[in-house]
Chain A
Amino acid sequence: MQENSIREKKSSSTKQYSTFYIGERLYGIDVMQVQEVTRTLPITRIPLSPNYVKGLINLRGQIATAIGLRNLFELSDAANETQMNVVCRMDGVLLSFLVDKIGDVVEVDESSFEPPPDTIPESVKRFMHGVYKTAGPILSIIEVDKITTALNKKNGN
């Protein structure tokens, strides 16, 4: 209901992003790509997997692979104990991104968009679509596609 009303209001020049925090940094994923946001769920570790693969999560009978964005972005590992899940479905595969804190769904104006500045470390930049200069902190947009391709590439598949 609420989503519908938002969509009606939405003009062609704005986009909606589901935002979350890793540390103090604000990130966003296109709201249409996010299936749901859940609180901390028990994780089954996968021995021998890369460090950013945190394990498997039972999401109402579906198995989602948990990806630690903090590790993937190679940020310092001051891991928050309670991690929230941002669950995205890509090509039928469930990925759950572990983040520190969930933010709002924000609507941003296309005019405030800019491609990622050059000085951003490559470890994060390669997943970024760009940034929005919002009234609050600057919002970095993460592309799930880029993450899945990077993941697949890393493992030679």
Chain B
Amino acid sequence: MTDGGAVREGQCACGAVTLRVEGDPILQGVCSCLDCQWRTGSVISVNAGYPADKVVLTGDVREFRRKADTGNEVLFRFCPACGTTLSWDLATPGFVVIAVGCLADRDFPVPNAAVYGERRPDWVCLADSIKEGWG
């Protein structure tokens, strides 16, 4: 990991896998697609993208691959002891996305955008600064 930027630490639900990110994310967003709802068991996923060298996972993880709507493969890493997904790779090389909830930090940078809002229940309200759609 290179120098620069605040370090944040996170973990899965059982603590067997830990997550460490350096600096602020390149982008962060909310998603309510069906795949994210099934994965999280929540109605929104909260995600942050980093250069791969700013993210370190420690501990044994299992991989799960699925095709995104774009047709690209997404590779998720989850803890085999508790099921928590901590990070995943999109088709973009050198870019890693993390599950922001694993940092359990309410002061983490606010999402820029929300996608698949048409799948999100009306009772969840997002701040006006969060742009809806891919823009």
Chain B associates with chain A = no
B: residues with CB less than 8 A from A are none
A: residues with CB less than 8 A from B are none
